[in-house]
């Protein structure tokens, strides 16, 4: 199969609503431009201490955790379309306000609120993916959404640096405008309702489905996934610090290596997902293989040899390959496990796991590095990833059947 044919096949069968939803998430994530510069803004523009900058970032994390739960609850009450419109618009207005206010404590409140609504958007977006996706395309629809997210975040981060160089107020206004545009696009482009895959199943309304917290299979799966995601996020948080301090890499080299992740995901994830989707074995096998590749990637940080640049690039490529195998199928398991009446709660639980991973990973990793060493951290991550890989591989194969087989 030629590369052109592989790409054509990867996008084949995805419906109009799936593409429009990816456009919305792309615009939404282009707005993720202020957070990387928040600490610099607090210390250099507001002349506050590093501790105050840390407080702002901490509050952003607190808002993200609360937003994941809040978004799942609202999605169940109002529906995914309304929640996306409301949360995106509220996030945009709060960030515009951030650029107009200079009182530190008011900024803390605005940052917490902005983070809460920004993350509340995510469960509703997951629910929209599951509802709009055509039959048999949910894994690729999820992968396309991830593709739009990664590209949007990359563009947003770059644009944020340009805007911040001119004026930080432009940075916050740009972020706010992006969220408002995303809200408007949902109103204009996405239908108020879409046929649900669940409505074709007999007696869906009368069959009692397990809630999130009583669904032990889901909770066990999500627990393992959260641990893996926590390990994965350290690629972007502490690995660059290690390269700088221990391998004496320059910022430009580190930036290029980190950029490999987004380039590879954008170029190959959807094709890879489509290839494995056709083979249809147990989904947990793919996830286990992806987590195992992550362990091997971290192993290369311990064994750089005489060519740190090659080791660094190999590390990023292996962990990225692991991400492309694991993440789309983890997300698809969550969406397929839910039912129409509780998809908001399942999506909220999944979004919460990401929020916890983004906060817990850097915090715990930093403590291990300070008390022991970077090498100790990499060994811990390798052991944890191997354990997660085995747990995924042996994951209740009878009950948690392959998502793809259901297609």
What is the rounded CA–CA span in Å between residue 65 and residue 63?
A: 6
269 in Cβ contact with 143 (< 8 Å): yes
| pLDDT > 90: percent of the chain | 28
Does residue 351 lie in a domain region? Answer: yes
Helices (H), 12-137: 16-30, 38-40, 50-78, 80-98, 104-132
Do 120 and 23 lie in a common domain? yes
| pLDDT > 70: percent of the chain | 89
In eight-state DSSP terms, residue 199 is G
Do 93 and 34 lie in a common domain? yes
Does residue 5 lie in a domain region? Answer: no
Which run of H or of E encompasses 6? helix 3-11
What is the rounded CA–CA span in Å between residue 390 and residue 383?
A: 11
**Model pLDDT, residue 387:** 97
**Model pLDDT, residue 187:** 92
Does residue 8 lie in a domain region? Answer: no
Do 260 and 184 lie in a common domain? no
pTM of the model: 0.78
Do 397 and 282 lie in a common domain? yes
How many C-beta atoms surround the C-beta of residue 62 within 10 A?
Answer: 16
Q: How many domains does the chain have?
A: 2
Do 268 and 170 lie in a common domain? no
Choose the weakest-confidence range: 164-173, 212-221, 234-243, 333-342: 333-342
Q: Give the residue numbers spanning the domain of 156.
A: 14-193
**Model pLDDT, residue 370:** 86
Q: What is the pLDDT confidence band of residue 2, given thresholds at 50, 70 and 90?
A: low
What is the rounded CA–CA span in Å between residue 315 and residue 299?
A: 8
**Burial classification of residue 320, based on how many CB atoms lie within 10 Å of its CB (0-12 exposed, 13-18 middle, 19 or more buried):** buried
pLDDT at 222 over 90: yes
**Model pLDDT, residue 140:** 87
Does residue 253 lie in a domain region? Answer: yes
Non-local CB neighbours of 80 within 8 Å, separated by 6+ positions: 124, 125, 127, 128, 131, 343, 344
Does residue 1 lie in a domain region? Answer: no
- pLDDT tens digits along 15-57: 888 999 999 988 888 877 777 677 778 877 888 886 787 788 7
Do 79 and 162 lie in a common domain? yes
Domain boundary (140, 164, 193) is at 193
Instruction: Find the mean pLDDT for residues 304-333.
Output: 89
Q: Domain with 295 in it: what CATH number?
A: 1.20.1250.20
Query: Quick one: CA dihedral 362, 395, 130, 320, positive or negative?
Result: positive
**Model pLDDT, residue 36:** 65
Does residue 2 lie in a domain region? Answer: no
Q: What is the pLDDT confidence band of residue 193, given thresholds at 50, 70 and 90?
A: low
Do 146 and 279 lie in a common domain? no
Do 20 and 50 lie in a common domain? yes
Does residue 199 lie in a domain region? Answer: no
Average pLDDT for the chain: 83
Does residue 246 lie in a domain region? Answer: yes
What is the rounded CA–CA span in Å between residue 288 and residue 392?
A: 5
72 in Cβ contact with 122 (< 8 Å): no
């Amino acid at each position: 199969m030629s590369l052109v044919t592989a790409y054509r096949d990867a996008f084949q069968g995805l419906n109009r609503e799936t593409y429009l939803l990816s456009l919305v998430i792309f615009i939404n994530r282009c707005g993720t431009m202020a957070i990387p510069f928040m600490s610099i803004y607090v210390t250099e523009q507001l002349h506050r201490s590093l501790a105050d900058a840390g407080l702002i970032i901490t509050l952003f994390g607190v808002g993200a955790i609360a937003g994941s739960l809040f978004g799942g609850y609202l999605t169940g009450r109002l529906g995914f379309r309304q929640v996306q419109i409301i949360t995106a618009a509220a996030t945009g207005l709060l960030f515009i306000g951030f650029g107009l206010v200079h009182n530190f404590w008011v900024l803390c409140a605005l940052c917490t609120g902005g983070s809460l609504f920004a993350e509340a958007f995510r469960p509703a977006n997951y629910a929209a993916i599951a509802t709009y996706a055509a039959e048999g395309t949910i894994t690729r629809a999820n992968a396309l959404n991830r593709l739009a997210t990664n590209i949007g975040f990359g563009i947003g981060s770059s644009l944020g640096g340009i805007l911040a160089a001119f004026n930080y107020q432009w940075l916050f206004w740009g972020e706010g405008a992006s969220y408002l545009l995303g809200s408007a696009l949902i109103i204009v482009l996405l239908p108020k309702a879409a046929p649900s895959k669940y409505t074709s199943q007999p007696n869906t309304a009368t069959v009692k489905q397990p809630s999130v917290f009583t669904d032990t299979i889901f909770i066990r799966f999500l627990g393992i996934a959260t641990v893996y995601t926590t390990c994965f996020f350290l690629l972007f948080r502490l690995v660059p610090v290690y390269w700088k301090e221990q391998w004496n890499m320059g910022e430009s080299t580190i930036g290029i290596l980190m950029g490999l992740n987004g380039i590879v995901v954008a170029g190959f994830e959807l094709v890879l997902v489509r290839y494995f989707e056709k083979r249809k074995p147990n989904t947990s096998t793919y996830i286990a293989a992806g987590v195992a590749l992550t362990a091997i990637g971290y192993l290369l940080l311990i064994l750089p040899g005489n060519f740190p640049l090659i080791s660094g690039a190999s590390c990023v490529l292996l962990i990225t390959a692991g991400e492309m195998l694991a993440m789309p199928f983890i997300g698809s398991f969550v969406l397929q496990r839910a039912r129409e009446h509780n998809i908001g709660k399942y999506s909220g639980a999944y979004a919460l796991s990401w929020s916890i991973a983004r906060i817990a990973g850097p915090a715990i990793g930093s403590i291990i590095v300070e008390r022991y060493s970077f090498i100790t951290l990499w060994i811990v991550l390798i052991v944890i990833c191997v354990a997660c890989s085995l747990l995924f591989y042996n994951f209740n194969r009878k009950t948690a059947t392959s998502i793809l087989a259901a297609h």
